[in-house]
Amino acid sequence: MITDKTTLWIVIVLLGIGTFLIRFSFLGLIGGRDLPPWLLRHLRYTAVAVMPGLIAPLVVWPAATGGIPDAPRLIAALIAFAIGIGTRSVVGTIIGGMAALYLFQYLLA
């Protein structure tokens, strides 16, 4: 696909401006102010809403296997889920899930 250089640079600049404005709306405009309690309560659930959307495609349709689900990833996801429920530790869940993935890739390969 060949794209005109001018069009490419216009798209890059517009995307840069757009992402700057999105970040500035939070950091620049309300960064120094106290947020209302109802907004803080809703923001606590942002990671809970975003993380499954990032992780689920990597478990169900992994690019490493050509989009075919495999046992090591599914088992590691279940173990990471159990660790997360049991410990409520994000770092522990990530490390446990990574260790389980590498262990089961080694054992089942």
The 10 Å Cβ neighbour count of residue 36 is: 9
Q: Which of 59, 61, 62 is nearest to 80 (CA)?
A: 59
H-type helices in 31-89, by residue range?
37-43, 46-60, 71-87
pTM given for the model: 0.64
Q: Which residues of 58-68 are buried (b: 16+ CB within 10 A; e: fewer)?
A: ebeebeeeeee
Say what angle helices 90-108 and 71-87 make with each other, to 10 degrees.
150
pLDDT, tens digit, 9 for 90 and up, residues 16-41:
999 999 988 877 877 778 888 998 89
In eight-state DSSP terms, residue 9 is H
pLDDT per position as a tens digit, 62-95: 988 899 999 999 999 999 999 999 999 989 999 9
Residues 6+ apart with CB under 8 A from 85: none
Query: Is the CB of residue 100 less than 8 Å from the CB of residue 75?
Result: yes
Q: What percent of the chain has pLDDT over 90?
A: 61
- Radius of gyration, alpha carbons of the chain: 20
What pLDDT, on a 0 to 100 scale, did the predictor assign at position 39?
A: 85
pLDDT band at 7 (very low <50, low <70, confident <90, very high): very high
The domain locations on the chain are 1-33, 45-108
